[in-house]
């Protein structure tokens, strides 16, 4: 059974909210990955329904060379592997080549029958959840008001 590409396009978002990580400034890709793995349950909920976490730094060995995919998932309804290569900063065209390489390795080494390999690119945002943002605002307001009393 072939999955229509329209369904794949509807399944993946164009932007993901990673505010639950509590990151407020730039971090290294490995630090971003570590924080995501710590919060994998929340990350799975952010990705959407049907995702199963396979692992991080998933090794793909071919012709004596080992490559590592930052994060690897399986989507149950699409019946496909979902490889995530984390990048900090603006999208660069060479990222597509690297992802094609990973997908070719996954296709050769791990893919089952009847699975397509579309590529999607998504941004992420570092927005804090509403309750954490409210607490920060309340704390800042209290600190600001407390600072005025000493004058």
Q: Is residue 105 within 8 Å of residue 62, measured between CB atoms?
A: yes
**Residue predicted with more confidence, 63 or 8:** 63
pLDDT, residue 4, reads 67
Instruction: Tell me the per-residue pLDDT of 34-45, one tens digit each, with 9 for 90 and over.
Output: 888 888 888 888
**Is residue 117 within 8 Å of residue 111, measured between CB atoms?**
yes
Q: What pLDDT band is residue 89 in, cutting at 50, 70 and 90?
A: confident
Q: Containing H/E element for 45?
A: helix 40-47
pTM of the model: 0.59
Cβ atoms of residues 6 and 120 within 8 Å: no
Q: In what order do the strands lie in the sheet with 65-75?
A: 51-62, 65-75, 80-84
Which string of b and e fits 97-133 if b means at least 16 CB within 10 Å? eebeebbebbeeeebeeebeeeeeeeebebebeeeee
pLDDT at 121 over 70: no
**Which one of 15-29, 61-75, 136-150 scores highest in mean pLDDT?**
61-75
């Amino acid at each position: 059974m072939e999955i229509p590409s329209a369904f794949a396009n509807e399944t993946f978002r164009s932007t993901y909210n990673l505010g639950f990580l509590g990151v407020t400034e730039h971090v290294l890709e490995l630090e971003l990955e570590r924080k995501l793995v710590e919060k994998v349950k929340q990350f799975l909920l952010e990705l959407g329904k049907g995702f199963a976490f396979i692992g991080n730094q998933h090794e793909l060995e071919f012709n004596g060379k080992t490559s590592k995919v930052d994060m690897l998932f399986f989507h149950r309804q699409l019946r496909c592997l979902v490889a995530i290569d984390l990048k900090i900063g603006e999208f660069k065209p060479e990222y597509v080549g690297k992802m094609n390489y990973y997908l070719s390795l996954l296709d050769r080494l791990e893919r089952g029958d009847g699975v397509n390999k579309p590529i999607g690119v998504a941004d992420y945002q570092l927005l804090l959840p509403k309750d954490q943002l409210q607490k920060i605002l309340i704390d800042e307001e209290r600190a600001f008001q407390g600072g005025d009393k000493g004058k």
